[in-house]
Amino acid sequence: MNDPVQRRAAAKPAPPPGREDSNTGFAAIWRKPATRYALAVAAVVAAIVVAAVAYANRPIGVQVAMIERNVPIRVFGLGTVEARVLSKIGFEVGATLAELHADHGDRVSEGQVLARLNTGEQNAKVAKAQAALLIAEVNITKSAATLEKARAVLAQKQEANRRKQALAGRDVVSQQAAEEAIRDEAVAKADVAVAESEVESAKAQLTDARAQLQYEETMLRHRTLVAPFDAVIIERHKEPGTVIRAGDPIFTLVAVGSYWGLAHVDEARAGFIEEGQPVEARLRSRPLESFTGRVIRIGLESDRVTEERRVYLRGENPPNRIYLGEQVEFWITVAKLDNALLVHSAAVHGYDGRQGTVWTVEEGRLQRRLVQFRHRTEDARLEIVGGLPASARVVIRLESGLREGRAARVIEAGPK
């Protein structure tokens, strides 16, 4: 044993029975591969936990809203082109349709002749009524002459009766002659009364004949269809030769300048709509053009199925030709906000149309606030009108890791 290390190991006294050198035991355990692997894994896990805790508690960057100026609030409505004055016109009597003087797409003026029915039968009735009127006028002349004659006879009888009564008083004529004179005067008075009644009867017959002629002429005029107002013909329903019944539509007319738009607006968005508000419209057939107008009427009854309100709008610069029933998109400007704080509805929790909860940054920490809203923009942003402290900033984009009390770093969003 010439090696000094071996001599020292041999000279070292042996430990008591049952006891082992602690350093020697730890070294033996450490020399085991499983122990070294477990300790390494534990160290890695601890480092990951520490890093995760530090990462989770780092100040999070959040985007907050800024005050925006001159923000228009527009309500969208989908609708169609309609006509305020639309009439289906036809004849008040029935006959064969003889003439048509207008067609689809024509523009007609008030009083312009559009169509006529066969007038042969009615012309005969008018002629008969005219003859009856002539007869009544002749009867008036005849009855007047008869009355004049009766009055002349009455005057003669009255004078004769007066003379005979005077002579009878002087016994120049007999009493019988005097009585006959009285009777003749009474008969003459009765004849005058009859003649006067005949005159009144003739006048009544004349009035009846005139009324009958007027009726037949009116019925003749009913066989001519004229435009009731300046209009555009939308449709022609009948052709010449068709037997028409009273009331059958011949043309569909739309009054010139009576076009308007009918927009269906969700009831939840219709509360701020008022008459006179400006409107922007886009026709489906002309998507590259924009037309302007105004709200002129708001329907007093909503659709119970679709829960939409009817809003009527009149255009200020309509196209030259309008097509009824064409689909139109409407944007009604209900307000313009001078200064507005807006947050997207996706960043609001529990929104009920009036209020909801948003995330805020207050003194560098995240908080949750119940705030009140008013207007909603067409891109689904909500106007905050109450519930915010003066120094609070509203988070407009939800990020993962948001929790109350966490430190936050503010990132201001630019105006849209």
CA-derived radius of gyration, the chain: 54
Report in angstroms the alpha-carbon separations of 57 from 14, 54, 408. Answer: 56, 5, 10
How do 308-315 and 259-266 pair as beta strands?
antiparallel
- Quote the CA–CA distance of 11 and 16 in Å, as a whole number: 15
In this prediction, residue 229 carries a pLDDT of 93
At 172, phi and psi to the nearest 5?
-85, -40
167 burial (CB, 10 Å; 0-12 / 13-18 / 19+) is middle
Taking a C-beta distance cutoff of 8 angstroms, is the pair 79, 240 a contact?
no
Distance between CA atoms of residues 341 and 395, nearest Å? 11
Amino acid at 315: G
For residue 178, what are its two tokens? 């005097």
Chain-centroid distance of CA 95 in Å reads 39
Alpha carbon of 143 to those of 32, 92, 213, 341: distances in Å?
153, 39, 22, 96
The neighbour count for residue 279, using CB atoms within 10 Å, is: 25
Question: What are the beta bridge partners of residue 384?
Answer: 373
Q: Which of 11, 138, 103, 81 is nearest to 322 (CA)?
A: 81
* Tokens coding 305: 């199925």
For every residue of 45-90, DSSP letters joined together read HHHHHHHHHHHHTSPEEEEE--EEEEEEEEEEEEEEEEESSEEEEE
Residue 392 contacts residue 369 (beta carbons within 8 Å): yes
3-state secondary structure at position 203: helix
- Which two tokens mark 53? 């805790």
pLDDT of residue 5: 45
Task: Give the C-alpha separation, 99 to 107, whole Å.
Answer: 18
Which letter does DSSP use for residue 415 in this model?
Answer: P
Ordered per-residue pLDDT tens for the chain, 416 residues: 455 544 554 455 555 554 445 555 555 555 567 666 776 677 677 767 665 555 555 678 888 989 999 999 999 999 999 999 999 999 999 999 999 999 998 999 999 999 999 998 899 999 999 999 999 999 999 998 988 888 898 888 888 878 777 776 666 667 777 777 788 888 888 888 998 899 899 999 999 999 999 999 999 999 999 999 999 999 999 999 999 999 999 999 999 888 899 999 999 889 999 999 999 999 999 989 999 999 999 999 999 999 999 999 998 888 888 889 999 999 999 999 999 999 999 999 999 889 999 999 998 899 999 999 999 998 889 999 999 998 899 998 888 888 888 888 888 765 55
C-alpha of 78 from chain center: 10
In Å, how far from its chain's centre is CA 410? 46
What per-residue confidence (pLDDT) applies to 1?
A: 45
What is the distance between the alpha carbons of residues 24 and 155, in angstroms, rounded to a whole number?
A: 176
* Integer angstrom CA distances of residue 5 from 8, 11, 294, 380: 5, 10, 109, 86
Question: Token pair 């067409």 is at which residue?
Answer: 378
Cα–Cα nearest to 235, from 87, 84, 113, 82: 87
Strands 67-83 and 327-344: antiparallel
Helices (H) and strands (E) in the chain, counts: 5, 20
Q: Which residues of 192-211 are buried (b: 16+ CB within 10 A; e: fewer)?
A: beebeebbeebeebbeebee
Burial 97-135 (b: 16+ CB within 10 A, else e): beebebeeeeebeeeeebbbbbbeebeebbeebeebbee
Nearest partner of 308 among 273, 335, 280, 342, judged by Cα: 273
Query: What's the confidence (pLDDT) of residue 283?
Result: 93
